[in-house]
Structure 1
Amino acid sequence: MRVLHVLDSFSFGGAENLVVELARHVSADHAAGQDLHLDLAVASLGPAGREGKDAMLDRFQALGLAPTYLGVRRLLDPIGVIRLARTLRASSADVVHAHLGYSATLVPLAARLAGVPCVATLHLVPQLGSRADRVKEGLSVLVPATLGRLVLVSQAAYDGYARHYGPATASWRCIPNGIDVDRYSTARRRLPQDVPVPDGAPVWAVVAALREPKGHVPLVEAWARVVEQHPDAHLLVVGEGTHRPAIEARVRELGLERRVHLLGRREDVPDLLAGVDGVVSASFTEALPTSLVEAAACGLPVVATDAGGTRDVVLDGETGQVVPVGDVPALARELSRLLSDPGARAAYGEAARRRAEQTFSMQTWTRALHDLYAELIDPSRTEPKENA
């Protein structure tokens, strides 16, 4: 089964990385003889050469893929849709899988013209911006749901889109993304040598793009309270983005330069997670927070704000603690409590690893996608079920 995955761009982001990980997993399955009969190709909806839009290109190429550019420059581009339909018709794809808003709107239209079945995944919860933004967001729901299948990555996302752009129909699916759980070890190890944290010091991490909705500034403010009770505690900030100057400024204002470490974008996140005591998220909005799934795979406790799909990952009081969004005192209180309670950290971590294996494994995700593709190719195989 040949599947063409179409992304808005090859920029660095969660959806792009998920497709990379899916391709890596399928390639490994082929090598091990455990073939789900998936043959993946990948394309960018936009044209080549846009500054800052190709950060993930080398990762696709390293997997032996030959990423292509489809050359659609804007949402209202009828000629681009026709050209896209011709490309899809010539691609020999059995199914095309679009990711993110622009692709979710345009690719199903072109796929219908090309006679190729289409599924689209939205990797965010509803953003509910300006009137024009809401129209675009509504189209990204309506078009794939009408012309193929619409996938939402968490129950929170499913419910949110149903509430604002519904009602949900039988073409909607809730399929959580997966990760390679086996890539993440529960064995604790020392942090990489370039991380400036003394051996034995308490250390937590946040792994997220440095964007304002991820809540890094209130997290730094909470960490200042944590340090009052745990003066030797360190926080690793893993990720990069436009909000970095604001985060650095708040770190300086609170005198936390030796306790909060901005590590930038890292390729060794599993190694970093193997050396920390827990993971924290102060996000204001999430669809399905991959970093918290990765924390669970490492057997780590989590303290997180109650944002979107966070509760799809973190079971409050079982695999970690969930606190209200924006509640800095509550975030600091739960972090401080777990820093003082190694028994609770261990119990949460063990439960988290079990949940990751059962719910968020790459095998589970790949099988769900394979079954959905098979349903699209031959609708008689499976009767669509609402929220299946």
Structure 2
Amino acid sequence: MIECICHIGPALDVQGGISSVLVSYTKLFGLPRKNFIASYNGSFVKSLPMFTLLCLKLLLCPPKAPLVQIHTSFNGSFFRKYLISLCLRLRGKRYIAHIHGSQFKRMCSTAPSIVKGFIRSYFRHSAMVICITPDMQEFLDEFVGKGICRYSVVPNPCDTLADAPANLERPEGSPVRILFAGRYGHRKGVYDLLVAFKNANFNVPAELCLFGDGEVEKVKQIAERDNAEFADCGKKISVSGWVSRGDYLEMIRGYDLLALPSYSETFGMSLVEAMGQGLPVISTFSGGVPYVVRNGEDGILFEAGDLPALQNALERLVNDRALRMQMGKAAWKDCTERFAGGIVLQGLESVYAQLK
């Protein structure tokens, strides 16, 4: 039935988590682009005319699809999707609220009373709420009101699963390469990672490679200062902006592990992408990460902000090649069993079947 569903979310070429999920839907489930309606094109100002026309179109000529799946994040994304849901309700169309967004819980908890009312209304009028991790379902059930909404937990699919895990048995003397991909700033923990890497004691050469956007210049300044101090100790930090998703995915297998010491993470698609290639990961117990990463098997988790624990995790995986290889293989196997397209499709089809 998925081929009959209309999806509303950001444009497919927008940089971001929801867009990458929707792109994976087109690849894995063979969905045509006509099934996707864009409500945002990457710029708030430039999106206003497009969004206004979309709302008018939904009111005058709503989709013929039996269900509309609205992919929702926090802040501006929520308000756009709330207005879209009002348009659909006025035309008697049923919608599924598919919730994404690492800071959605925070938005719910800190919003003014009137906004909390909008949020509750949005979910209460939905035919179903899809959460990507169990902890989000538990939170919303408490926030919206116990037993009011119908929920289903369906993880995001990984459209880049390798046929076999990467070979992490690098040539003798090559540096262990640590990958970070995310927005440069406090929330993703990049500054914690820089401090832990600087203080870590490695018995092999190690390189920390950072990719992202945000506070780029600040991160570059720290890296330049630290690289000057490292001198001949075998450590190196490189800082880059975003690369295209295709280029990034091709690069992953050239690294040995991924570190994402985030303070707020709903799902952590970069974790799944790395695990799906056979890389072990280091991350935190924040949000839905413990659901995605099996601590001690696929990688190492620690409490966000615990710098000694992050340093210890780096030292363990950098200094122990056998452990890296063991966890990398386990991570790849775990992804194939939980986040493969076929598995996720079964979950989605189950949701649609309940709403027939």
Q: TM-score, normalised by structure 1?
A: 0.77
Q: Is structure 2 residue 339 aligned with structure 1 residue 360?
A: yes
**Other-structure match for 2:254:** 275
Change (3 A) 1:176 1:136: farther
**Other-structure match for 1:44:** 38
Q: How many residues align?
A: 338
Instruction: Spell out, residue by residue over 1:252-296, the C-alpha distance to the aligned partner (whole angstroms, 9 max, x if none).
Output: 343369712123222322222211111111110000001111122
User: What pairs with 1:188-199 in structure 2 (closer than 5 Å)?
Assistant: 188=167
Change (3 A) 1:50 1:293: closer
Q: Is structure 2 residue 303 aligned with structure 1 residue 324?
A: yes
Change (3 A) 1:177 1:49: closer
Structure 2 counterpart of 1:71, one-letter code? F
Determine if contact 1:12/1:53 at 8 Å carries over to the other structure.
no
Change (3 A) 1:224 1:183: same
Which of 343, 349, 354 aligns to 1:370? It is 349
**Other-structure match for 2:52:** 72
CA distance in 1: counterparts of 2:325 and 2:111, whole angstroms = 48
Determine if contact 2:123/2:129 at 8 Å carries over to the other structure.
yes
What's the CA shift for 1:144?
3.2
Which of 212, 221, 246 aligns to 1:249? It is 221
Which of 79, 91, 96 aligns to 1:102? It is 79
Which of 17, 22, 38 aligns to 1:19? It is 22
2:152 counterpart SS class: strand
**Other-structure match for 1:152:** 131
Structure 2: any 5+ residue segments left out of the alignment?
73-77
Determine if contact 2:168/2:325 at 8 Å carries over to the other structure.
no
**Other-structure match for 1:220:** 194
Change (3 A) 1:323 1:23: same
Change (3 A) 1:137 1:221: farther
Q: Percent identity?
A: 22
User: What pairs with 1:237-316 in structure 2 (closer than 5 Å)?
Assistant: 237-239=210-212, 241-255=213-227, 259-266=236-243, 267-316=246-295
Structure 2 counterpart of 1:43, one-letter code? I
**Other-structure match for 2:60:** 86
2:125 counterpart SS class: helix
**Most deviating of 206-215 and 3-12:** 3-12
Determine if contact 1:108/1:119 at 8 Å carries over to the other structure.
no
2:139 counterpart SS class: helix
CA distance in 1: counterparts of 2:80 and 2:221, whole angstroms = 37
2:227 counterpart SS class: coil
**Most deviating of 290-299 and 256-265:** 256-265
Determine if contact 1:288/1:308 at 8 Å carries over to the other structure.
yes
1:147 counterpart SS class: coil
Which of 93, 102, 107 aligns to 1:116? It is 93
What's the CA shift for 1:140?
3.5
Structure 1: any 5+ residue segments left out of the alignment?
31-37, 55-68, 74-79, 192-197, 379-388
**Other-structure match for 2:75:** none
1:272 counterpart SS class: helix
Structure 2 counterpart of 1:291, one-letter code? S
CA distance in 1: counterparts of 2:46 and 2:271, whole angstroms = 26
- Cα RMSD of the aligned pairs, angstroms, is 3.2
Change (3 A) 1:199 1:44: farther
CA distance in 2: counterparts of 1:133 and 1:254, whole angstroms = 43
CA distance in 1: counterparts of 2:226 and 2:353, whole angstroms = 55
Q: Is structure 2 residue 350 aligned with structure 1 residue 347?
A: no
1:112 counterpart SS class: helix
Change (3 A) 1:135 1:351: farther
2:146 counterpart SS class: coil
Instruction: Spell out, residue by residue over 1:294-313, the C-alpha distance to the aligned partner (whole angstroms, 9 max, x if none).
Output: 12211211111221111011
**Other-structure match for 2:5:** 3
Determine if contact 2:223/2:238 at 8 Å carries over to the other structure.
no
What's the CA shift for 1:231?
6.4
Determine if contact 2:268/2:289 at 8 Å carries over to the other structure.
yes
Which of 203, 209, 215 aligns to 1:236? It is 209
Change (3 A) 1:53 1:279: farther
1:5 counterpart SS class: strand
CA distance in 2: counterparts of 1:49 and 1:298, whole angstroms = 29
**Other-structure match for 1:205:** 179
Instruction: Spell out, residue by residue over 1:129-152, the C-alpha distance to the aligned partner (whole angstroms, 9 max, x if none).
Output: 785467536634541342321111
Structure 2 counterpart of 1:41, one-letter code? N
CA distance in 1: counterparts of 2:11 and 2:162, whole angstroms = 26
